[in-house]
């Protein structure tokens, strides 16, 4: 009697599973036609990706293979891992950067010495994407898309450019680790992508200074830090 009931129960379970998966397939087909955004959200919730952790575990692996959850050891492990990725050894001859390039001092490019115009800041502010997470200053791009703020930012950028000083907050950023793969060990710092979010002001002055309206031939060979930061003498100020 028990064996027969168990077989009947298993049969009904398998039948219900097939009906459920069939209904899910029909739902995905309908969403693909009516709401593609919701369709891809459903796809993202299928498989091992749905098992990924929402929080980074407060533990790391030592070099000997042991696990530690000591906060000092965890922070030091993360610092050492990302420090090796984001910094280079200046004594290493294999590093070839801007400092190894031959720079001609007699090149004249007035666009690099001109003040940042209102139109340049306006274009950068309006081109910023909406709905993005703010940086360390908690200022979203939407707040900068009005004439009063753009006018104030233009004056602020030119003051920084003239006196060679920038707010201390502009040199800071928020590193947000994103898992590279849901199957990697979450305790390994190198299994995360270290994306960094900067303040709204620093991003806008970077884009406004680095474009030069496309008229300067030097821009493709140098990034913002070689063009603008030397002018600022990499100085910092709190105001």
169-194 pLDDT tens trace:
777 777 777 777 767 788 888 888 77
Residue bearing the bigger pLDDT, 183 or 34: 34
> Once rounded to an integer, what is the mean pLDDT over residues 151-157?
88
Compute, in degrees rounded to 10, the torsion defined by CA atoms 192, 200, 133, 181.
-20
pLDDT in tens, 43-62: 777 655 555 555 678 888 88
Give the confidence band of 209 by pLDDT, cuts at 50, 70, 90.
low
Question: Has residue 206 got a pLDDT over 70?
Answer: no
Reported confidence tier of residue 86, pLDDT bands at 50, 70, 90: low
- pLDDT at residue number 218: 34
Task: Give 178-187 contacts, CB < 8 A, sequence gap 24+.
Answer: 179/52, 179/53, 182/48, 182/49, 182/51, 182/52, 183/48, 185/61, 186/53, 186/56, 186/57, 187/57, 187/59, 187/60, 187/61, 187/67
Q: How far is CA 63 from CA 58, 73, 151, 221, in A?
A: 17, 12, 53, 40
pLDDT band at 225 (very low <50, low <70, confident <90, very high): very low
| Percent over 70 (pLDDT), the chain | 66
Is 239's pLDDT higher than 70? Answer: no
pLDDT the model gives residue 97:
54
């Amino acid at each position: 009697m028990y064996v027969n009931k168990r077989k009947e129960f298993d049969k009904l379970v398998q039948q219900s599973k097939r009906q459920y998966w069939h209904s899910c397939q029909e739902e995905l087909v309908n969403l693909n036609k009516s709401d593609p955004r919701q369709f891809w959200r459903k796809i993202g919730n299928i498989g091992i990706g749905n098992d990924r952790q929402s929080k980074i575990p407060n533990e790391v692996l030592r070099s000997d293979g042991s696990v530690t959850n000591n906060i000092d050891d965890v922070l030091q492990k993360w610092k050492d891992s990302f420090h090796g990725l984001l910094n280079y050894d200046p004594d290493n001859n294999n590093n070839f950067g801007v400092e190894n390039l031959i720079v001609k001092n007699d090149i004249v490019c007035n666009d690099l010495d001109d003040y940042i115009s209102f139109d340049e800041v306006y274009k950068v502010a309006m081109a910023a994407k909406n709905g993005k997470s703010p940086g360390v200053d908690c200022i979203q791009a939407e707040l900068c898309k009005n004439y009063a703020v753009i006018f104030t930012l233009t004056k602020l950028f030119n003051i920084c450019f003239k006196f060679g000083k920038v707010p201390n907050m502009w040199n800071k950023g928020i590193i947000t680790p994103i898992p590279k793969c849901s199957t990697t060990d979450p305790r390994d710092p190198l299994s995360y992508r270290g994306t960094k979010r900067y303040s709204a002001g620093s991003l806008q002055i970077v884009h406004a200074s680095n474009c030069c309206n496309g008229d300067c031939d030097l821009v493709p060979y140098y990034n913002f830090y070689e063009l603008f930061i030397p002018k600022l003498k990499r100085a910092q100020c709190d105001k």
